[in-house]
Amino acid sequence: MGKKTKVALAIAAASAAAWAGSKAISKPQKRESKEALQFERPIIIAQYGGSALAPEHSSLAFEQASNHGVDGFAVSVRLTKDEEIIAFHDATVDRTANGAGYIKDLTLEELKQLNIGYHFEAIDGTRPYEDEAVAVVTLRELFEIYPNKLFIVSIQDSPDTYEGSLMPSKLWRLIEELDIQYQIIVTSPYSEQIDRFNLYAQNRIALGAGESDVKKAMTAFTSQFGHLYHPKVDLFVVPLKAGVFNYDSTRFVKFLADLNVPTLYSDIDDLMTMNRLIRQGAMGIITNRPDIAALINETIEA
């Protein structure tokens, strides 16, 4: 046996011993169940209120989605100049409104004067809201209008900004004031924002995974050390694929489910894919087409 072969065998043996040792001392730690995640059937969540049917994050979109019987809404939030929390995804209003500027530089009143439906293009190719007054809505308004819906609230302001530094505490105070802890899931692309929010919430609110949380879980899942992964969040919202990661996996869904962490797939707009993901074990889907998603339970039962 050559020297290189002996070295390779020694490394392999050491790796196996390390794996066996870690397996023996590490027990998977399931997340404690959160009330907001207790559903007896697959759930349908409208993305930004159902952004394929009406201007995203507008009262029109939320109303239409509610009429289609969705279980809740996925809402992005940002802080205005006068520190109001509004439902809005982008940092600027350029893409959605007939005006320009950063959300952080505009007051709520100024934003209310803009038509956020100006650039909206309907499924049939028309632009029906160019001449209508489609205004932004605050998160408080949505909470009060839809007291029986689940809200997945995503903090979009970076933790490195002034707005981002304020958002976790302001969001917690709003939730606490309205006493709606049972219907809220808080998430963010920035895992740091989720951690900051939880300093106030103290695990009383269901938490969604940030981008780094998702990468850690996938890395653990694809390695031999998945048993060392201990989630610090309660829900994963993932696309079918992002970059080199493919999340469309029954095994990945089961890996998280065994830790009491359900999975929602985002941006799913066709019925065939919706049904397939539900059958694979997903908790539900987030869609821009709540009109199509309304058919999902019928097709599953059929």
Specify the range with the lowest mean pLDDT, choosing from 5-19, 51-65, 116-130: 5-19
Among residues 193, 175, 273, the alpha carbon closest in space to that of 233 is found at 193
Q: Cα separation of 49 and 263, whole Å? A: 20
Residue with token string 């707009």? 269
Inside any domain, residue 121: no
- Give the range of the structural domain holding residue 177, as residue numbers without chain letter: 31-93+138-301
Q: Looking at the domain assignment, is residue 8 inside a domain?
A: no
Percent over 70 (pLDDT), the chain: 88
Judge whether 7 lies within some domain.
no
Please check whether residue 252 lies inside any domain of the structure.
yes
Does 53 score more than 50 pLDDT? yes
Is residue 8 scored above 70 in pLDDT?
A: no
Q: What is the DSSP string of 187-242?
A: E-SSHHHHHHHHHHHTT-SEEB--HHHHHHHHHHHHSS-GGG---S-SBEEE-SEE
Average pLDDT over residues 171-199: 97
Any idea what the CATH number is for the domain that residue 152 is in?
3.20.20.190
Taking residues 170-192, what's their average pLDDT?
97
Count of the separate structural domains present in the chain? 1
Q: For residue 291, with 0-12 CB atoms within 10 Å meaning exposed, 13-18 middle and 19 or more buried, which class applies?
A: middle
Question: What does the pLDDT read at residue 298?
Answer: 60
Please tell me the predicted confidence (pLDDT) of residue 189. Answer: 97
Asked whether residue 295 is assigned to any structural domain, the reply reads yes
Indicate the pLDDT class of residue 25, thresholds 50, 70 and 90.
very low
Unique residue bearing structure tokens 């830790």: 259
Assigned domain for 108 exists: no
Q: Residues 243-247: what's their mean pLDDT?
A: 89
pTM, whole model, 2 decimals? 0.89
In a domain, 131, yes or no: no
- In this prediction, residue 14 carries a pLDDT of 39
The whole-chain average pLDDT of the chain stands at 89
Interatomic CA distance for residues 250 and 28, integer angstroms: 19
- The per-residue pLDDT for 181 is 94
Q: Is a pLDDT exceeding 70 seen at residue 137?
A: yes
Is the pLDDT reported for residue 129 higher than 70?
A: yes
How crowded is the C-beta side of 181, counted as CA atoms within 13 Å? 15
**How high is the pLDDT of residue 29?**
74
What's the pLDDT band for 297 if we cut at 50, 70, 90? low
* Cβ contacts of 178 within 8 Å, gap of 6 or more: 140, 143, 144
Q: Does residue 2 lie in a domain region?
A: no
Q: Write the CB contacts of 39 (distance below 8 Å, at least 6 apart in sequence).
A: 71, 283, 284
Give the integer Cα–Cα distance in Å for 24 and 22: 5
